[in-house]
Structure 1
Amino acid sequence: MTRAATARPALSLGSALFALSLALSAPGALAQDGTQDGKTIITSHGVSSFGELKYPEGFAHFDYVNPEAPKGGEMSTWAFGTFDSLTPYILKGNAAAMSTAFYDSLLTGTLDEPDSMYGLVAESVEYPESREWIIFHMRPEATFRDGTPVTAEDVVFSFNILVEKGLPSFRVQFNDIEKAEALDEHTVKFTFDPEGPLRELLMTAGGLPIFSKAYYEDRDFAESSLEPPMGSGAYELLSVDPGRSVAYKLRDDYWAKDLPVNVGQNNFDILRVEYFADYTTAFEAFKGGAYTYREEYQSRIWATGYNFPAIEEGTIEVETLPDGRPAGTQGFWFNLRREKFQDPRLREAIGMAFNFEWANESLFYGLYDRTDSFWENSQTLQATGMPSEAELELLEPIREHIPETVFTDEAFTPATSSSTELADRRTLRQAGRLLNEAGWEVGDDGFRYKDGERLIIEVLNDSPSFERIINPYIENLKRLGIEARANRVDAAEAQERQKNFEYDIVTQRFAMSQTPGDELRSVFGSETADVPGSSNIAGLKNEGVDTLIRAIADAESREALTAAVHALDRVLRAMHIWVPQWYKGVHNIAYLDAYSRPYEDTPPAYGLGVMSLWWWDEDKAAELRAAGAL
């Protein structure tokens, strides 16, 4: 099972704030186009972090799409919990799944390049080699849903309103953007702090969601609402049943439907999301036809549940496809804002009580592997062994801020426990010694105390199906003398408590990028630790970590980036800010056999593209109708 808790919407596309690098003369490369004030000015149809752009100017479509894909039909899936808003970029309320579909941005990413973006609302960009600013030349034909033009003033408004009233994390993301200004009706310029992470900032600006300034003249941006917002994106609201379902309809008059970045995409007339309070109920609803596409995260259901009649009859297809993305940072996260969690020995001991091997054998049908790294399954970004020379150059200057084990031990991996006994005595004895060293000693009543305070830990949970993982963990913690409790609350309460950091331990998963950068401040940076609603679940404040994040954001080559990510991964693992859970490097999916897609067994490296690349296959649908299955 995977508890797929998801961070609140971020500005970036593809889970990353991409950046700029220069590549010249080859096909698809960024073009040099003159000078200004003695500086070379680059003019291009896109931007790239490292090396050339894959797609040249004037490209027809992305390689992984079917440009002839028909439009029509419906794709539906499910979401966990509840929602009460259609406004995804503010702190108030819980936004509906896929509600970012209302909006376009200046640039858009791809599923086959980890560090490139191409023009959407922006037709072209220009910027100096120094990267201290970028000018976006916008397409005059870009319009909002009401037919009004998308202007530079709308972009400036969007930037300013996100800083003023958006999610607090936007103030961190935009900290190094000094200003946004409209040069004319369809030309907007962003100026950056020359000391900021300049490799990142071009794409930070390019990924900005664009709001209608006129729409918010008589509305408060900070107030959540179920009124469909005014955007220029491909989809508009079809229907909403608060907390239960939401559906989006493809706009017939979408201004950008024929742009190269959109050819072969946005193929469904309707995208629908059905909400459920727990995973088991959601699966039963899928079996009953309540929605048509499901990625399975519960190992028990995947191993034992996919044998119902619709599969045997061929109505439902079941597949396992490779996943080329980093597996994600899923685990039990400590709230370091709590005094009791300040000692890393305590955190390491609590981590040792989680017996993954037993859980994988007894609960997961052996389908998972243990997560070691914050960049698990990333191919190149996971730290291994002892630090390299390139890593040590980054680590030595911050030595006073990071664990000494970073220099003396190989990259931390969790202890291996018995797969046949939940209570692995050897591992629990080691954990007990760590607790003793941390000053938490067993009292006469069997509980651990320090300075007269009993060690009490609450694990916050909002999923009934996740109790089978948490409860055995609680048992092992109690064996260590910890008064451990599992507290299950409803999804709305869990979301509010997480926004306000009201928990001891909480399960969370973040999707990490193959080209990470300054967005890491949102999850690990000191300045986000006390920002309500931020993704810094652990409340991490560490100068050394901040320095490494900056090194990642400033990296000028893939080699430098890799070394910096290795160093950060190594440090975070040594700090024991979480108890890593598990991963699988594949997508386990099931869907109504009325769809086709532009690939067979190998999807694009960075996503399946189900909601955008797939299409409704009327021939398949006709067969289902003839058989009485549709």
Structure 2
Amino acid sequence: MRFYKFANDSAIWRALALCLGVASMPLASLAEPMHAIAMYGEPALAPGFDHLPYANPDAPKGGTIRLAESGSYDSLNPWILMGNPAWPLFTQPGLVAEPLMMRSLDEPFTLYGLLAESVETAPDRSWVEFTLRPEARFSDGSPVTIEDVLWSYQTLGTKGHPRYTAVWSKVAKMEQTGPRSVRFTFNTPDRELAMLMGMRPILKKAQWQGRDFSQSSLMAPVGSGPYVIDRVDAGRSITFRRNPDYWGKDLPLNRGLNNLDVIRYDYFGDSSTMFEAFKAGETDVWRELIAARWDRDFTFPAVREGRVVKSEIANERPSGIMGLVMNTRNPVFADWRVRQAMIEAFNFRFINQTLSGGTDRRITSYFSNSDLAMEPGPATGREAELLAPYAADLPPGTLEGYSLPPGGPRAVDRASIRAALDLLAQAGWTVQDGVLKNAAGTPFRFEILLNQAGSAMRSNAEMRQIVDIFVETLRNLGITPQVTLLDPAQYVERTNNYQFDMTWYERGLSLSPGNEQMLYWGHDGVTKPGTKNWMGMNSPAAEAMIAEMGHAGSAGDYRAAVRALDRILTAGRYVIPVSFSRVSRLAHSTKLHYPEKTPLYGDWPGFMPETWWYEERK
């Protein structure tokens, strides 16, 4: 028999529990509806909160913000692998298509009900149930229904991007439990799954009838979010307009958010062109990634005349990883000693001095700049216990401690070159007639692939300068790499299919890492296209740490598992890391403002333009 759960059934079920004898009931039956869910402990904001702590509830509505992106786009479907989607649809999923729950940028691991008015989960997180708000509407005025939810989850789980399909395999059952309720039951012990199920975009089923969801398209999706797609100039610009009839505008969760009437993104060929457009007043915001340029190059007329202001926004999130990734699918980079030799040859001290005057901090591990980062020296305590069963297969430095070579003040650091040559010799590569070769006489060759549009965190010019210095240093090892620049579409195609030897790599990491780490580092990514596992790593130890993160019953055990994973990734020597900043440097129009209280995550998706507003100077 199937029982349907209705909106007022909590009291009914509690009465039944008392009649049947609560002591005889399974613990999972004691779940109650909540306004929010946290990975550990309780949400920071109690029911009935007024607004998010980093939002300004008095912010005026209106105005336009003009933003810039590099490259191009050819799709408005960001939920599949095919195509090059418009970037804001990818990075700001709640802009048009909302999820059931919304992340707070002031808490590492908490979600608050958005489309869902409540969430229930078993104490062991073996299932989770969401109840839709009756007032939830799509932008065309039609109600958001459980049928839309069921279709969205099923479609994303079977036809969507790997970030959706990977988690869907852990769902044993999805069922409607009431007119506005849906329950997910899991086949894998993993506390995070209850939260992940709240973060999928809900799409309008009727819009997709008779259409192939797995194909890229320029059809504007109908969502329930605060904005609708207003104008599309394929590959050149996209404009979003605030929906005045947005169903959720009065929710406490949204108070002070979504203030701008128009959000426009213009696309440029590269970051240098973007910067010139900003200086000319054609765009309103510029993120500066190089400290030395922030201090040196912002003296143009708009700054001098007070039309542009410089703001620095601090954060406490992990550094993530950024630099040159080595593809271990290529036998040349399969040996950790070769990868360490590349790291030795990359003289960060000299490169940092050349690019930024030595002011930028180096990334020392994937979760550096947070309490999730591995600590210097040997692994201890729970961290060591988790790694111990895999000790025989871990690269040197994982358990004992690993640190990057210091480099030197000159372009060629002789100590590092000697260390690199020694490691290469151990791996079977020696310099013969000025060329690095193996015993069979085969030269050591590889290609460095770069996107001519640059990346989210580096301009093409900066990448080229870094790579040029590195290539010159490699000549001292008898290596002359081929450097190839591709347009964005070709670059995406090759990196999605791992057709590169070395390329620029950026992965932002949050304070709540979980199942997505399998998409980044899991063994499926060795062959499955479209994952973030560009290095091609296949590490049972890393996968065990990711599983442990989901099983952890306390914040301390969870932190130990993440730190152990950080050790495996860092000592794996897959990426030659560069620098990061503890602040975001934003130059912007003086007509644009953001709240005085900024979130824990700082300048992160969900902060700009969501919390910003437009107001003329007084």
TM score, norm. by length of structure 2: 0.91
When structure 1 is superposed on structure 2, of 439-448 and 388-397 the one drifting more is 439-448
Mapped to 2, the partners of 1:276 and 1:418 lie a distance apart of 37
Give the SS at the match of 1:508.
strand
Alignment of 1:267 with 2:259, yes or no, is yes
Give the SS at the match of 2:283.
coil
Mapped to 2, the partners of 1:300 and 1:470 lie a distance apart of 19
1:550 match? 547
Alignment of 1:67 with 2:67, yes or no, is no
Mapped to 2, the partners of 1:88 and 1:597 lie a distance apart of 28
Give the SS at the match of 1:612.
coil
Alignment counterpart, residue 352 of structure 2, candidates 350, 360, 372: 360
1:308 match? 300
Show structure 1 runs of 5+ residues with no match. 1-32, 624-630
Give the SS at the match of 1:182.
strand
Moved over 3 A (4+): 33-37, 298-301
Mapped to 1, the partners of 2:67 and 2:359 lie a distance apart of 23
Alignment counterpart, residue 607 of structure 1, candidates 602, 606, 616: 602
Give the SS at the match of 2:32.
strand
Conservation of the 8 A alpha-carbon contact between 2:341 and 2:421:
yes
Mapped to 1, the partners of 2:155 and 2:114 lie a distance apart of 21
1:21 match? none
The residue correspondences of 1:431-442 to structure 2 (distance < 5 A) are 431-442=420-431
Mapped to 2, the partners of 1:137 and 1:187 lie a distance apart of 4
The structure-2 alpha-carbon separation of the partners of 1:518 and 1:388, relative to structure 1 and needing over 3 Å to count, comes to: same
Mapped to 1, the partners of 2:434 and 2:121 lie a distance apart of 68
Alignment counterpart, residue 26 of structure 2, candidates 25, 38, 45: 38
Conservation of the 8 A alpha-carbon contact between 1:61 and 1:67:
yes
Alignment counterpart, residue 539 of structure 1, candidates 530, 536, 546: 536
Mapped to 2, the partners of 1:185 and 1:528 lie a distance apart of 39
Conservation of the 8 A alpha-carbon contact between 2:36 and 2:119:
yes
Mapped to 2, the partners of 1:529 and 1:581 lie a distance apart of 24
Aligned residues: 581
Conservation of the 8 A alpha-carbon contact between 1:169 and 1:531:
no
2:153 match? 159
Alignment of 1:324 with 2:312, yes or no, is no
The CA deviation string for residues 306-336 of structure 1, in whole angstroms up to 9 with x for no partner, is 1001101111001222122112211211111
Mapped to 1, the partners of 2:516 and 2:162 lie a distance apart of 13
Amino acid at match of 1:613: T
Show structure 2 runs of 5+ residues with no match. 1-16, 455-459
Give the SS at the match of 1:231.
coil
The CA deviation string for residues 582-611 of structure 1, in whole angstroms up to 9 with x for no partner, is 111111110000022221xx5211133120
Mapped to 2, the partners of 1:440 and 1:447 lie a distance apart of 6
Amino acid at match of 1:610: M
Mapped to 2, the partners of 1:389 and 1:597 lie a distance apart of 43
Amino acid at match of 2:599: P
Amino acid at match of 2:404: P
Amino acid at match of 2:66: S
Alignment of 1:616 with 2:614, yes or no, is yes
The CA deviation string for residues 183-218 of structure 1, in whole angstroms up to 9 with x for no partner, is 23311111111x331x11111100011111111112
Mapped to 2, the partners of 1:77 and 1:324 lie a distance apart of 25
Alignment of 1:141 with 2:135, yes or no, is yes
Give the SS at the match of 2:67.
strand
Alignment of 1:196 with 2:185, yes or no, is no
In the TM superposition, residue 394 of structure 1 has moved relative to its aligned partner by 0.4
2:446 match? 457
Conservation of the 8 A alpha-carbon contact between 2:33 and 2:120:
yes
The CA deviation string for residues 67-91 of structure 1, in whole angstroms up to 9 with x for no partner, is 1111110112211211111110111
Alignment counterpart, residue 583 of structure 1, candidates 566, 580, 583: 580
Mapped to 2, the partners of 1:450 and 1:497 lie a distance apart of 31
Alignment counterpart, residue 378 of structure 1, candidates 367, 370, 375: 370
Amino acid at match of 1:243: G
Mapped to 1, the partners of 2:427 and 2:520 lie a distance apart of 27
Conservation of the 8 A alpha-carbon contact between 2:171 and 2:185:
yes
In the TM superposition, residue 136 of structure 1 has moved relative to its aligned partner by 0.6
Mapped to 1, the partners of 2:67 and 2:375 lie a distance apart of 36
Alignment counterpart, residue 174 of structure 2, candidates 172, 180, 203: 180
Mapped to 1, the partners of 2:593 and 2:374 lie a distance apart of 35
Conservation of the 8 A alpha-carbon contact between 1:137 and 1:188:
yes
In the TM superposition, residue 569 of structure 1 has moved relative to its aligned partner by 1.0
2:11 match? none
Mapped to 1, the partners of 2:566 and 2:335 lie a distance apart of 20
2:6 match? none
Mapped to 2, the partners of 1:297 and 1:394 lie a distance apart of 37
The CA deviation string for residues 345-377 of structure 1, in whole angstroms up to 9 with x for no partner, is 001101111111111111222231111110121
In the TM superposition, residue 438 of structure 1 has moved relative to its aligned partner by 0.3
Conservation of the 8 A alpha-carbon contact between 1:367 and 1:584:
no
Conservation of the 8 A alpha-carbon contact between 2:292 and 2:359:
no
Mapped to 2, the partners of 1:271 and 1:316 lie a distance apart of 18
The CA deviation string for residues 371-413 of structure 1, in whole angstroms up to 9 with x for no partner, is 1110121144333221112111101112233124323x32x22
In the TM superposition, residue 179 of structure 1 has moved relative to its aligned partner by 2.4
Amino acid at match of 2:437: R
Amino acid at match of 1:55: L
The structure-2 alpha-carbon separation of the partners of 1:58 and 1:313, relative to structure 1 and needing over 3 Å to count, comes to: same
Alignment counterpart, residue 94 of structure 1, candidates 79, 84, 89: 84
1:117 match? 111
Alignment of 1:596 with 2:593, yes or no, is yes
1:80 match? 70
When structure 1 is superposed on structure 2, of 213-222 and 293-302 the one drifting more is 293-302
1:49 match? 39
Conservation of the 8 A alpha-carbon contact between 1:176 and 1:196:
no
In the TM superposition, residue 300 of structure 1 has moved relative to its aligned partner by 5.3
The residue correspondences of 1:231-630 to structure 2 (distance < 5 A) are 231-299=223-291, 301-407=293-399, 409-410=400-401, 412-419=402-409, 421-462=410-451, 463=454, 464-465=460-461, 466-599=463-596, 603-608=598-603, 609-618=607-616, 620=617
Mapped to 1, the partners of 2:52 and 2:291 lie a distance apart of 34
Mapped to 2, the partners of 1:401 and 1:185 lie a distance apart of 52
Conservation of the 8 A alpha-carbon contact between 2:308 and 2:590:
yes
Mapped to 2, the partners of 1:404 and 1:434 lie a distance apart of 13
When structure 1 is superposed on structure 2, of 441-450 and 609-618 the one drifting more is 441-450
In the TM superposition, residue 496 of structure 1 has moved relative to its aligned partner by 1.0
Conservation of the 8 A alpha-carbon contact between 1:144 and 1:231:
yes
Mapped to 2, the partners of 1:444 and 1:546 lie a distance apart of 43
In the TM superposition, residue 299 of structure 1 has moved relative to its aligned partner by 4.4
Mapped to 2, the partners of 1:175 and 1:519 lie a distance apart of 13
* Identical amino acids, percent of aligned pairs: 35
Mapped to 1, the partners of 2:345 and 2:167 lie a distance apart of 36
Alignment counterpart, residue 223 of structure 1, candidates 215, 224, 236: 215
Give the SS at the match of 2:610.
helix
Amino acid at match of 2:177: L
Conservation of the 8 A alpha-carbon contact between 1:89 and 1:166:
yes
Conservation of the 8 A alpha-carbon contact between 1:169 and 1:533:
no
Conservation of the 8 A alpha-carbon contact between 2:366 and 2:373:
no
TM score, norm. by length of structure 1: 0.89
Mapped to 2, the partners of 1:320 and 1:146 lie a distance apart of 39
The CA RMSD measured in Å over matched residues stands at 1.7
